[in-house]
Amino acid sequence: MLNFLSYLPDLARGLTITLILMLISTFAGLALAILMTIGSRSERYVLRKGIALFVFFIRGTPLLVQLFLIYYGAGQFEWIRNSSLWIILREPMACAIIALTINSACYTTILLQGAINSVPKNEVAACEAMGMSKWLALRRIIFPRAFRIALPAYSNEVVMILKGTSLASTITLLDLMGVIQQLIAQTYQTVQFYVLAGVIYLLFNAIITTIFNILFKWGAIPNR
């Protein structure tokens, strides 16, 4: 019988890396998504189309491909290796955060764009009637309203980010999945450790879902 307690320190270290990846990517991705959403509403055609094409590419390609392009692809360019960027791009942790952040930002941008389009027209008309500029209305009325509309769907995006962190082990990062694979190589207990990994991910997904459900119940985020 496998004694999982003896492997708790290793699992805890891996889980810590996983949670760090998720938290940083979630907040950085949300911040980038806000900027991209604002840019997508710009009057500058090149900026709008550039963001649209970037979002299309990221949403249309697997996260694993994006992760490999950043981690393995960056080193193929000599000018990157000779620049200060290489200090960041040579680290698997940084590459994983960049890939997860960009991926999350593009999906969240679509959520925010849809939420903004769902803001009642009479509220937008009221902003115009009060003489608010486009950006003032966006900052004070439209964006706060859109966040409340988008957050129920955003809970699914946070769950997807957590699941996406499992790919970080493919670039030598010892997150939870990386530690699990190491322990399998040491003990040959494949089924037991993969089931354990699934249970841990399921537990944290349940925690995330519960947090959002509590917010819905309290009325902090209207469920609509």
Q: Quick check: 63 pLDDT over 90?
A: yes
Dump pLDDT digits (tens) for 178-214: 999 999 999 889 999 999 999 999 999 999 999 888 8
Ordered structural domains, the chain, with CATH: 4-219 (1.10.3720.10)
Residue 130 tokens read as: 């009060």
Dump pLDDT digits (tens) for 94-112: 999 999 999 999 999 999 9
Q: Which among 9, 5, 3, 14 has a CA at the least distance from the CA of 197? A: 14
Q: What pTM, to 2 d.p., does this model score? A: 0.89
Q: Quick check: 55 pLDDT over 60?
A: yes
Q: Are 139 and 60 contacting, i.e. CB atoms less than 8 angstroms apart? A: no
pLDDT given at position 110 = 95
* Rounded Cα gap, residues 141 and 129, in angstroms: 13
Q: Which among 56, 63, 33 has a CA at the least distance from the CA of 164? A: 63
Dump pLDDT digits (tens) for 122-134: 777 787 777 777 7
Q: Are 111 and 153 contacting, i.e. CB atoms less than 8 angstroms apart? A: yes
